Amino acid sequence: MPLTIRNLGDVLLHIYDFAFEAAIYLPDVVRYDADTPCLVGGGESEWASFHETCLRYGFKNWLNVAVVSDTCDAVLEMTVPSLIAAFNADSQEGGWLWKMMNCRHPDSSSQPIK
C-alpha cells in the first residue's frame, strides 16, 4: 500500500474529505504545526497493516478522524492557523485529543495495540 505523507494543516483543513473510521498518524512531538507530517488511512479492513507500517516509519501517535473532526467543528474560523491552534489546545494534557490519542474502540479488532 503506498503511503502519502501530508501536512497536518492540510489534513485539518480537509478533515471532512476523509472517512471517519480512518486514523491520522502523527510523530511524537511536543507541539504540532501546519507542516507537521502525518499519514491518514487505515479503514477497518486494512487497519492492522496500516497501523504497523505507520509505527515502523516513526508515526507513533494516532487519532481517529471522527475525533479530530469534533475539534475542527468547534473552530469558528476554518483557517489553517485557527485549526492548528485548536488542535494544539486539545492535544495538551487533559484535552479532548490528548485523552483520545492512541485509543481504539475495543470492537474494531481483536488485534492488540502495540
Q: Which residue has the higher pLDDT, 79 or 111?
A: 79
* Percentage of the chain modeled with pLDDT above 90: 69
Whether 108 has a pLDDT exceeding 50, the answer reads: no
Find the length of the chain.
114
Of 63, 105, 103, 104, the residue nearest 87 (C-alpha): 63
Rg of the chain on CA atoms, in Å: 13
φ, ψ at 64 (rounded to 5°): -70, 140
Q: Which residue has the higher pLDDT, 105 or 102?
A: 102
The DSSP secondary-structure symbol of 78 reads: -
Residue-wise pLDDT for 12-57, tens only, equals 999 999 988 899 999 999 899 999 999 998 766 677 888 899 999 9
The whole-angstrom distance between residue 35's C-alpha and the CA centroid of its chain comes to: 14
Total-model pTM:
0.84
Count CA atoms within 13 Å of residue 113 on its CB side.
12
**CA angle 76–67–89, rounded 5-degree value:** 55
